[in-house]
Amino acid sequence: MFDALRSAIDEEMNKDETVLVIGEDVGHYGGSYKVTKDLHLKYGDLRILDTPIAENSFTGMAIGAAMTGLRPIVEGMNMGFLLLAFNQIANNAGMLPYTSGGNYQIPIVIRGPGGVGRQLGAEHSQRLETYFQAVPGLKIVACSTPYNAKGLLKSAIRDNNPVLFFEHVLLYNMKQEIPDYEYTLPLDKAEIVREGKDITIITYSRMRYHVLKAVDRLIEKNIDPEVIDLISLKPIDIDTIIRSIQKTHKACIVEECMKTGGIAAEIIARVNELIFDYLDSPIIRLSSQDIPTPYNGLLEQHTIVHSEQIINSIIKQLNI
Amino acid sequence: MLQKSTITSNALITNEEAKIFYEDMFLGRIFEDTCAKMYYQGKMFGFVHLYTGQEAVSTGIIKNLKPYDYVCSNYRDHVHALSKGIPPKELMAELFGKETGCSKGRGGSMHIFSSKYNFLGGFAFIAEGIPIALGAAFRNIYQKQILHKIDDLPVSICFIGDGATNNGQFFECLNMASLWKLPIIFVVENNQWAIGMANQRASSVQEIYKKADAFNIPGVEVDGMNILEVIKISREAIARARSGQGPTLIEALTYRFRGHSLADPDELRSIEEKNFWIARDPIINFVNYIKNHNLISDDEIKKIEKKVKLRIEEAVKFAIDSPEPNLHDLSKYLFY
């Protein structure tokens, strides 16, 4: 995964000289998760800019640079650190194209690892996608495979709007064969990972794998789920979800963010607004607990959703 | 190394420059006076922060810039915008919320933007424009070093108030500006008050220019009511930045004759203090200088004033006659 991301950045930087990377330890250190390893040797210290520890200001600086013609990729060493940059991301990146009446565009990508890792402690285990979900001018994407990571990151870099690009801390070492040829993926389309007719399971990021593990067991029980990986958290690809639910009439959402104000909360509200009559039963959401992630391994495991829970929930929803 | 400036009147500006500077200061003054009238007549709304009294800083700095230089302001941005070249019509129309405003009526008083005039905003929260100004400065060296697109190095001017100099973003940006020798000038308009908070009660160190020392940036204090001092120091700072020597911090001691905003009753500042500063009106100071040095004839001065008043009248008429934005365009400009 980290190689796929690196290759996306390398290809885009090679193609377009206005693309650069800004963040802590992205240069000489090679990036905390090796996403920018050795890129500074190829592109120099100005295009792979090692910053002091000042998230709000260097994110704002990247925004100012984007307004005036550059295309920065800001790396949050951990996406949680972007809480420091909330002012710049919400007020400036999210608003200036609009409040300036079109005077300025902000072609910025803000990327980095989020999600619950292995006993990293509460602050390094955050899911910021829901905090930023309500900010009107942002696009939010969550990659989940090396293949989609590369295609999506290339699209994000080429996009003329601010894109928050969420990677997952436990997926960086994931391996997958990806094409040699150049490809991009649309930022606003969900991926149908598995077609099915009995129930729609909607998920994103690392939870995709917990879902797929559950699906293996469900198939053994002759259950035929449709699995959708959201990819785009903002805007939600509601069309893909609607078409699926019109077919299956039931849905379960499996997410790693907290239950309160989560991505599932948003999807359920929208589905109710649009196709309530197609639902045979309420949509069930399986989310993380509304608590800071504890350090203790056992406790940590119980804050996030497991395949067992997914299996049990679906069986219950299908009245089997 | 820049030193503390002293008042000088040695052939700093030509007759032509004097006309430009005077017209710009007078434009700023009449524009803001007109805003106050329009606000109380119910044509302008919300939070409006007028610049009256500080004109020497805006004119003295911005009129030495080239069109390709950037200016980044804060919520007290009307006069900075005018000095940078945004036509009074577009500014007034923006304040009236009209479609013909520079921000298409979407921004309002605190969010003046113009990509044509390289005016980066207009910000409501204190200090949040500083990183934006830094970004433009970064872009300038990037354009020169990586893209080889320009010969002259554009500079970036960041206007902030005394209150902003206690904020984290201020220090973070001073550090990065110095570290990377960015072509940026931080102009602190120290009018001594942040709404009702006197600078003495907010700052452990009163002399704001000294805060630059911590980052190895030359810091200078100037009399912000004396446009000649401002001009002298800003030309030095601009030359420094353009030659690649990095940032400067200019602390301009000034005063706002009106309250913080049109909604501020302005009861905390004493009459004595206000009178002390009003007596040092930068425009009157400059007119005296002009007359003493025969830079502009009385007739010319009258002509300039008449021209400015006419421009403002036309701006008001334009704003009144301009259409509101179309309701169907509510979500326009959100995504590209």
ipTM score of complex: 0.95
Show the DSSP H helices in chain A as ranges: 2-15, 39-47, 55-67, 86, 96-99, 129-133, 146-158, 207-220, 238-248, 263-275, 297-301, 307-317
> Do A217 and A120 share a structural domain?
no
Q: Do A20 and B142 count as a contact with CB atoms less than 8 A apart?
A: yes
In chain B, which among 5-64 make CB contacts under 8 A with chain A? none
How much is the average pLDDT of B196-210? Answer: 96
Tens-place pLDDT, residues B60-117? 999 999 999 999 999 999 999 999 999 999 999 999 999 999 999 999 999 999 999 9
Tell me the three state secondary structure of residue A252: strand
- A22 plus A91 within the same structural domain: yes
Helices (H), A128-206: 129-133, 146-158
Q: What is the pLDDT of residue B56?
A: 98
Q: Residue A311 domain-assigned?
A: yes
- Candidate from A68-82, A299-313, B4-18, B231-245 with smallest mean pLDDT: B4-18
Q: Residue B106 is nearest to which of A47, A87, A101, comparing CB atoms?
A: A101
In a domain, B10, yes or no: no
Tokens found for residue B80: 């900075």
Average pLDDT of span A254-274: 98
Alpha carbon A74 to its chain centroid, in Å, reads 15
- In the numeric block, the tokens 């509200």 are attached to A269
Interface test with B, best of A24, A99, A138, A163 (most B CBs within 10 A): A99
pLDDT value of position A228: 98
Indicate whether A155 and A211 sit together in one domain: no
The nearest alpha carbon in chain B to A137 belongs to B334
The answer, for A248 touching chain B at a CB cutoff of 8 Å, is no
Q: Is the pLDDT of residue B4 over 60?
A: no
Mean pLDDT, chain B, as a whole number? 95
A32 domain residue, yes or no? yes
Polymer length in residues for chain B: 336
Residues A164 and A252 in one domain: no
CB contact under 8 A, B168 and A56: yes
Q: Give me the pLDDT at residue B7, please.
A: 42
The domain boundary, picked from A134, A168, A202, lies at: A168
The C-alpha atoms of residue A190 and residue A187 are separated, in whole angstroms, by: 9
> Cα-Cα-Cα-Cα dihedral of B124, B127, B129, B133, to 10°?
160
Percent helix, strand and coil across chain A, each rounded to 5? 40, 20, 40
> What number is the average pLDDT over the span A107-133?
97
| Mean pLDDT along residues B302-323 | 98
pLDDT above 90 covers a percentage of chain A that reads: 99
Is residue B306 in some structural domain?
yes
Question: Considering CB atoms only, which of B103, B169, B332 is closest to A100?
Answer: B103
A104 touching chain B per CB within 8 A: yes
Q: Looking at residue A142, what DSSP letter applies?
A: E
> Do A223 and A142 share a domain, yes or no?
no
One domain, residues A198 and A164: no
Give me the pLDDT at residue B150, please. 77
Average pLDDT, chain A: 97
Residues A94 and A231 in one domain: no
Q: Which residue of B has its CA nearest to A136?
A: B334
Q: Which residues contact B43 (CB under 8 A, 6 or more apart)?
A: B96, B319, B320
Domain contains B1 = no
Model confidence over A267-311: pLDDT tens digits? 999 999 999 999 999 999 999 999 999 999 999 999 999 999 999
Q: What is the predicted pLDDT for the residue at B148?
A: 85
Residue A88: closest CA among A68, A65, A114, A61 = A61
CA-atom Rg of chain A in angstroms: 20
Task: Return the residue of A nearest to B104 by Cα.
Answer: A101
pLDDT reading at B248 higher than 70: yes
Q: Among all chains, which residue has been given the structure tokens 């400067």?
A: B248
Q: Which residues of A are catalytic?
A: 55, 124
Cross-strand bridge partners of residue A109: A73, A163
In a domain, A179, yes or no: no
Q: Which of B70, B72, B113 sits opposite A100 (nearest CB)?
A: B113
Tell me the residues of chain A between 50 and 69 that have a Cβ less than 8 Å away from chain B.
Answer: 51-52, 54, 56-69
Which string of DSSP letters, residue by residue, matches B92-112? HHHHTT-TTSTTTTSS-TT--
Mean pLDDT across the stretch B306-330?
Answer: 98
| CATH classification of the domain holding A248 | 3.40.50.920
Q: Which residues contact A101 (CB under 8 A, 6 or more apart)?
A: B101, B102, B103, B104, B105, B106, B107, B113, B333
How many helical (H) and strand (E) elements, i.e. helices and strands, does chain B have?
11, 7
* β-strand partners of A101: none
First vs last C-alpha separation in chain A: 38
Residue B72 near chain A (CB below 8 Å): yes
- Is residue B336 in some structural domain? no
Cα B81 to Cα A44, A282, A289, B67, distances in angstroms: 36, 55, 50, 13
- Among A64, A97, A100, select the one facing B136 at the smallest CB separation: A64
Task: Indicate if the pLDDT at residue B251 is higher than 50.
Answer: yes
Residue A184 lies in a domain: no
On whether the CB atoms of residues A111 and A76 are closer than 8 A, the answer is yes
Among A314, A318, A312, A290, smallest CA distance to A302 is for A290
* Rounded Cα gap, residues B106 and B112, in angstroms: 9
Q: In the Cβ-directed half-sphere of B164, how many Cα atoms lie within 13 Å?
A: 29
Alpha-carbon distances of B86 from A119, A230, B129, rounded to whole Å = 55, 45, 19
Asked if residue A198 and residue A161 are part of one domain, the reply reads no
A32 and A150 together in one domain: yes
Three-state DSSP at B160 gives: strand
**Residue B5 pLDDT more than 60?**
no
Q: Which domain holds residue B33?
A: 15-316
**Residue whose C-alpha is closest to residue B182's, from B230, B116, B131:** B131
* Cβ count near A51 (within 10 Å): 23
Contact list in B for residue A54 (CB cut-off 8 A) is 168, 172, 175-176
**Are A64 and B107 inside 8 Å of each other by CB?**
no
> Which H helix or E strand runs over A18?
none
Number of structural domains found in chain A: 2
pLDDT band at B11; cut points 50, 70, 90? low
Instruction: Tell me the percentage of chain A whose pLDDT exceeds 70.
Output: 100
| The pLDDT of residue B309 is above 60 | yes
* Residue B167 belongs to a domain: yes
* Tens-digit pLDDT profile for residues A135-192: 999 999 999 999 999 999 999 999 999 999 999 999 999 999 999 999 999 999 999 9
Q: What is the mean pLDDT of residues A207-235?
A: 98
The C-alpha of A129 sits at a distance from chain B's nearest C-alpha, in angstroms, of: 19
Do the Cβ atoms of B176 and A60 come within 8 Å?
Answer: no
Contact A64 B179 (CB under 8 A): no
Range of the structural domain that residue A281 is part of: 191-318
Tell me if A164 is assigned to some domain.
yes
Are both A40 and A81 inside the same structural domain?
A: yes
pLDDT category of residue A320 using cuts at 50, 70 and 90: confident
Residue A183 lies in a domain: no
Measured CA to CA in angstroms, residue A70 lies from A20, A25, A47, A146, B278 at distances of 8, 21, 11, 27, 44
- A186 in any annotated domain: no
**B224-245 average pLDDT score:** 97
CB proximity A98 to B under 8 Å: yes
How many separate domains does chain B show? Answer: 1
CATH of residue B306's domain is 3.40.50.970
Taking an 8 Å cut-off on Cβ atoms, the answer to whether A137 and B120 are in contact is no
